[in-house]
């Protein structure tokens, strides 16, 4: 029998094996040793009060099992899911709050270390929010009003989030009809916690509607706000070349890793590692220079804007330390394994926590403060440099790395389809309508040691592009593709179906577009809304030949993302066992009932082949319902725009200087 790999990333597998031979434990070992609790994993356990925990097991548990209070299994499973969605929404949105507070601090001149980088984007956002701009108003005044408008979204008690109006009218109407239009972000999260408290909401359907509402407050609130502010402050991404995998670490340079999610400190570290005094200091310690790399979503943020290389996604974090080459690993919030500090003791790596919200025993804590950002960044970089001479254990040095292209913001995707003056989503819509592109898939979410990590991402990426499906990726989905060498235009030539290949060649793009961090899933909502506004097939997000997949999810944030896509009209398929498996009623509500109401749904399917078939089935049924040309590989109709030769030449001219090849 073939050996079951722990990671599909060859370099990761090599490090894992090295670790095993040196008796170093990682999440892969722990995942094998600790089997999931068979009751909790299916959503059949309630532990919200101290009469329990109550287990809902046995035949006919769905109908007959009761908790001490009388709660039924569907109530408990729905309540558990709502709590996960609320926690996920809280994580993204608290991150967004920090970004809004940073924007306010920059606008009011409280911090000198940041600037407003993208004034055009600021004005675009101001226009959506109804903030006055132009006519001699200073950038800082506009930025302050924008920050205040965003902050209102957190504390609003009545009405709706500012960005609800960015969704297509029909999508908004569905939300109104079912009472899930999000009000204030904090209100939705608090209400979700209230409803799931002992003895409050017991109706599974009502609980699940609340899961959609709190998740919409994330997608069209927290996450979208975070994406927009990050673009305003640090620049809206455009294509940039970079590298991925463990080979990014350098033997003769100081290696610093930024890990977590919030990009503000990492942005400043990018500046500081380039300061001549810092480089000179590194040289004084015997290093040739300073090498910055990223991990998880902080990596995605600085990769998208500065081409900082990434060591990969979630399951690669311990392995980075095991290269023995990381002099400092600085973390902010979310998806940081507490195991890092214990493991770091076996090497010389310093783990540095920077948020009072996220401390780890055994780490050095340096509290980040945006008012002293540069000073703090210098302190961190110095720790790394001072630590360079202390490298003691030669870890598993792997040299594998892959080139990649990232930086596909929704603004750039629009621009690449027609240049500055004719930017639109028309070519993409047309390519889908004539069947050159079969559909679009968002490949997102975590990588997970419970399966061959990153393997399902890789499998789906290849199979989907073979089937002429354009992929937009985010988060660790992007990291899995990047560390596999999939994020380059050549990938289209070698692996894409004939229609997708032509489109990618015409524009000069990879068949998998890296859109950014997990909060940047909000870019997919913006793209889908723009495609609906462009017209030609669906005038709402629901019903488009588009599917979201999180094949190896593990974080509660993924549940919030899945729910806001489902509520927005996208069928979503998650890998792994269903966290509500125990309840047929809850499963039916999330699939059939949500489909009828919102045209979106949430499925859980552990089998990768089935995920693929389910996805293609959704896409083909959507094409049929929209009366689009039946998809047949290699046979398409003629678009009005994309394949017109003059347009094609213009597109090439427009795209190439930015892509740099
Ligand atoms: Ni998303 Fe980013 Fe990765 Fe999963 Fe964690 S890093 S926010 S949650 S593990 S994709």
Q: What is the pLDDT of residue 419?
A: 73
Residue with tokens 């974080």: 555
pLDDT of residue 659: 40
Q: Which pLDDT belongs to residue 654? A: 46
Cβ-contact 296, 337 below 8 angstroms:
no
- Provide the pLDDT for residue 585: 98
Range 73-234: architecture per CATH: Up-down Bundle (1.20)
pLDDT score of 3: 77
pLDDT of residue 541: 97
Candidates 580, 553, 548; CA nearest to 565 is: 548
Q: What is the pLDDT of residues 282-293, one digit of tens each?
A: 999 999 999 999
| Residue 49 to residues 45, 63, 77, 174, Cα–Cα distance (Å) | 12, 22, 15, 35
Indicate the pairing of strand 402-406 with strand 240-244: antiparallel
Q: Which atom of ligand 1 is closest in space to residue 296's alpha carbon?
A: 6
The pLDDT assigned to 397 comes to 84
* Domain with residues 408-633, CATH architecture: 3-Layer(aba) Sandwich (3.40)
Parts of the chain with a pLDDT under 70: 1-2, 420, 639-661
Task: Give 94 Cα–ligand 1 centroid separation in angstroms.
Answer: 15
pTM value is 0.95
* pLDDT at res. 650: 52
CA-closest residue to ligand 1 atom 7: 518
Specify which residues 259 forms β-bridges with: 295, 331
As a whole number of angstroms, the distance between CA 143 and CA 124 comes to 11
**Does this chain's domain 73-234 share its CATH topology with 246-390?**
no
The atom of ligand 1 lying closest to the CA of 558 is 8
Q: How far apart are CA 85 and CA 563, in angstroms?
A: 7
Identify the pLDDT of residue 655.
45
Q: How far is CA 296 from CA 123, 195, 234, 514, 655, in A?
A: 30, 32, 18, 13, 28
Q: Cβ < 6 Å from ligand 1: which residues?
A: 261, 296-297, 313-314, 335, 445-446, 475-476, 518, 555, 557-558
pLDDT of 50: 97
In terms of Cα–Cα distance, which of 79, 83, 40, 54 is closest to 203? 79
Q: What is the 3-state secondary structure (H, E, C) of 101-148?
A: HHHHHHHCCCCCCCCCCCHHHHHHHHHHHCCCCCCCCCHHHHHHHHHH
246-390, what's its fold?
Rossmann fold (3.40.50)
Q: CB 450: neighbour CB atoms within 10 A?
A: 18
Q: Residue ranges per domain, the chain?
A: 10-64, 73-234, 246-390, 408-633
**Could you tell which of 257, 481, 557, 559 is best to mutate to test the pocket of ligand 1, judged by most ligand atoms within 8 Å of the CB?**
557
- Determine the pLDDT at residue 660: 32
Calculate the alpha carbon distances from 149 to 123, 161, 414, 470 in Å.
14, 10, 26, 35
Q: Alpha carbon 570 to chain centroid distance?
A: 16
Distance from Cα 314 to the centre of ligand 1, integer Å: 7
């Amino acid at each position: 029998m073939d050996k079951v790999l722990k990671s599909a990333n060859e370099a990761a597998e090599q490090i894992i094996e090295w670790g095993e031979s040196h008796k170093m434990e990682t999440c892969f070992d722990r995942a094998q040793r600790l089997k999931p609790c068979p009751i909790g994993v299916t959503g059949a356990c309630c532990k919200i009060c101290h009469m329990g925990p109550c287990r809902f097991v046995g035949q006919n548990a769905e109908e007959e099992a009761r908790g001490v209070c009388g709660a039924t299994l569907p109530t408990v499973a729905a309540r558990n899911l709502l709590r996960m969605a609320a926690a996920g929404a809280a994580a993204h949105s608290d991150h967004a709050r920090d970004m809004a507070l940073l924007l306010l601090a920059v606008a009011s001149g409280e911090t000198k270390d940041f600037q407003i980088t993208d004034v055009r984007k600021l004005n675009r956002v101001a226009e959506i929010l109804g903030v006055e701009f132009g006519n001699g108003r200073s950038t800082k005044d506009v930025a302050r009003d924008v920050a205040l408008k965003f902050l209102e979204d957190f504390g609003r008690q009545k009405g709706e989030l500012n960005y609800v109006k960015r969704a297509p009218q029909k999508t908004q109407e569905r939300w109104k009809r079912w009472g899930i239009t999000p009000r204030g972000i904090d209100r939705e999260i608090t209400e979700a916690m209230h409803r799931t408290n002992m003895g409050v909401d017991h109706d599974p359907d009502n609980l699940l509607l609340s899961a959609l509402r709190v998740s919409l407050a994330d997608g069209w609130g927290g996450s979208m706000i975070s994406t927009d502010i990050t673009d305003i402050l640090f620049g809206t991404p455009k294509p940039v070349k970079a590298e991925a995998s463990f080979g990014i670490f350098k033997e003769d340079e100081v290696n610093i890793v930024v890990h977590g999610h919030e990009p503000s400190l990492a942005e400043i570290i990018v500046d500081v590692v380039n300061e001549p005094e810092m480089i000179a200091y590194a040289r004084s310690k015997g290093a040739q220079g300073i090498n910055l790399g990223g991990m998880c979503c902080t990596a995605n943020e600085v990769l998208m804007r500065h081409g900082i290389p990434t060591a990969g996604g979630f399951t690669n974090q311990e392995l980075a330390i095991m290269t023995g080459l990381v002099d400092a690993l600085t973390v902010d919030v979310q998806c940081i394994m507490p195991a890092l500090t214990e493991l770091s003791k076996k090497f010389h790596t310093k783990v540095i926590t920077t948020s009072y919200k996220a401390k780890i025993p055994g780490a050095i804590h340096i509290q980040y403060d945006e008012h002293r950002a540069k000073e703090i960044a210098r302190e961190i970089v110095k720790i790394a440099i001072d630590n360079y001479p202390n490298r003691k254990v030669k870890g598993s040095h792997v040299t594998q790395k892959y080139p990649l292209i990232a930086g596909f913001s929704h603004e750039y995707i629009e621009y690449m389809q027609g240049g500055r003056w004719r930017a639109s989503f028309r070519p993409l819509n047309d390519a889908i309508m004539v069947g050159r592109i079969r559909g679009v898939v968002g490949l997102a979410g975590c990588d997970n040691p419970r399966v061959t990590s990153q393997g399902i991402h890789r499998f789906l990426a290849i199979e989907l592009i073979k089937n002429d499906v354009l992929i937009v990726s985010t988060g660790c989905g992007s990291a899995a593709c990047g560390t596999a060498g999939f994020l380059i235009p050549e990938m289209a030539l070698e692996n894409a179906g004939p229609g997708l290949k032509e489109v990618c060649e015409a524009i000069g793009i990879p068949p998998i577009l890296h859109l950014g961090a997990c909060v940047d899933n909000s870019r997919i909502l913006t793209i889908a809304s723009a495609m609906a506004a462009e017209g030609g097939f669906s005038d709402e997000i629901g019903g488009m030949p588009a599917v979201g997949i999180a094949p190896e999810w593990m974080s509660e944030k993924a549940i919030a993302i899945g729910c806001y896509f489902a509520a927005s009209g996208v069928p979503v398929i998650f890998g792994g066992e269903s966290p509500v498996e125990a309840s047929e009623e809850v499963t039916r509500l999330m699939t059939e009932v949500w489909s009828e109401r919102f045209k979106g749904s949430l499925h859980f399917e552990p089998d990768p082949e089935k995920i693929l078939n389910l996805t293609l089935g959704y896409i083909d049924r959507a094409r049929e319902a929209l009366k689009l040309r039946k998809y047949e590989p290699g046979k398409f109709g003629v678009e009005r725009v994309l394949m017109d030769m003059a347009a094609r030449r213009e597109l090439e001219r427009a795209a190439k200087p930015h892509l740099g090849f």
